[in-house]
Amino acid sequence: MILDVIKGHMGGNTIALLYGEQLPVGRELELSVKALEQNYLWCHEAGIIYPSAAGGIDLRVKISEPTRPSFISACGGMTQVLGKALVETDLGENFGIKLKEPVSEVIIETDAGPARLEIHTAGGKAKRTITDMGAFLNECLDRGVRPWKLQGVELYQVGVVMVVNADNVKRVYPGADFMNWDAPTRELLSEIQKEFQERTGVRDYYFTLYDWNSERSGDLRVVFPHCIPQNYFEPACGTGSVALGAALICSGELERRRGLPEGKIKLNLEAGGSIQLGGPDVTEVFLDISGGILAGASFSHSLVEITATGKLYL
């Protein structure tokens, strides 16, 4: 089987974009996950792109990931790479998407709901994409945001995402190493996630690890060790970043550090490049707060690149 493929990344979160019409009906998950394997594209997620017949929707996207494997409802990194690909490859032309400078809007349908991409372009290049993550945020809020104490560590559940302050881990386990990820640290965090899944019924692997010990100009450092036993770390993650924002608001942690938030606020997250906590890139998370209630979220990442286009022999 020969597939057209676009490969890109958002701060090291690697994404494959595939054409849905080239995948046999009923085998989309199987084949897209196979395409993600090390011997093929070696990516974290695949976005399977389809034309949309719905009014007001430009594209429909199914998103697969290999840890379970499964289709997931949203992937922020996929949207950032998609925004870049629509401008800088023939993907937009192939789907009849007409873009203009300096700003274009594209609406995609995901399993979480519609997502709006605000694509900023100049000279035929995509300079920045801002992804509206409201549908994913609502999915998280509907499932619930609540505190847990697991293996002695205080953490937060945001929908299916486990959000952990690294300093909370170190208070209980001072030797935890989030730079080198030695064997005891991996075992500890894996046990915490295992208990989280057992207690919450969450089957997916979503894990946001953060602290406030910024090394550059950001507010926080982040990394996303979604499935440690499979060595499945994402240096940057849009859904995980939005879940972090929700945890900080709903737990009152942001209020304790900055005062009562209101209106549109921005968090700069240091991320990208490796499995270490933090990184050289910046994920900008925008949170809409109304009367102390989290009403919306969007994000953008500072480094998005298309790394390959061509044919995949699967």
CATH number where 215 lies: 3.10.310
- Asked if 115 and 154 sit in the same domain, the reply is no
- Asked if 124 and 166 sit in the same domain, the reply is no
- Asked if 108 and 158 sit in the same domain, the reply is no
If one counts the domains in the chain, the total is 2
Q: Which residues 6+ apart lie within 8 Å of 83 measured at CB?
A: 106, 117, 119, 126, 129, 131, 304
The pLDDT profile of the chain, 314 residues, written as one tens digit per residue, is 999 999 999 999 999 999 999 999 999 999 999 999 999 999 999 999 999 877 889 999 999 999 999 999 999 999 999 999 999 999 999 999 999 999 999 999 999 999 999 999 999 999 999 999 999 999 999 999 999 999 999 999 999 999 999 999 999 999 999 999 999 999 999 999 999 999 999 999 999 999 999 999 999 999 999 999 999 999 999 999 999 999 999 999 999 998 878 889 999 999 999 999 999 999 999 999 998 889 999 999 999 999 999 999 99
- Asked if 259 and 146 sit in the same domain, the reply is yes
Domain span at 278: 138-301
- Asked if 161 and 289 sit in the same domain, the reply is yes
Q: Give the pair of three-digit tokens for residue 71.
A: 């289709």
**In the prediction, which pLDDT does 293 show?**
87
- Asked if 65 and 198 sit in the same domain, the reply is no
- Asked if 21 and 150 sit in the same domain, the reply is no
- Asked if 253 and 264 sit in the same domain, the reply is yes
| CB-based contact 103:83 (threshold 8 Å) | no
Q: Determine the distance from the C-alpha atom of residue 76 to the mean position of all C-alpha atoms in its chain, rounded to a whole number.
A: 4
Can you tell me the distance from the alpha carbon of 223 to that of 210, in angstroms, rounded to the nearest whole number? 7
- Asked if 194 and 118 sit in the same domain, the reply is no
In this structure, what CATH number is given to the domain that contains residue 83? 3.10.310.10
Can you tell me the distance from the alpha carbon of 124 to that of 69, in angstroms, rounded to the nearest whole number? 36
Of 180, 171, 174, the residue nearest 223 (C-alpha): 180
- pTM > 0.85: yes
Q: Give the pair of three-digit tokens for residue 188.
A: 């500890």
- Asked if 194 and 209 sit in the same domain, the reply is yes
- Asked if 147 and 118 sit in the same domain, the reply is no
**Which residues partner with 221 through β-bridges?**
211, 270
Residue 230 carries which DSSP code?
Answer: G
- Asked if 93 and 187 sit in the same domain, the reply is no
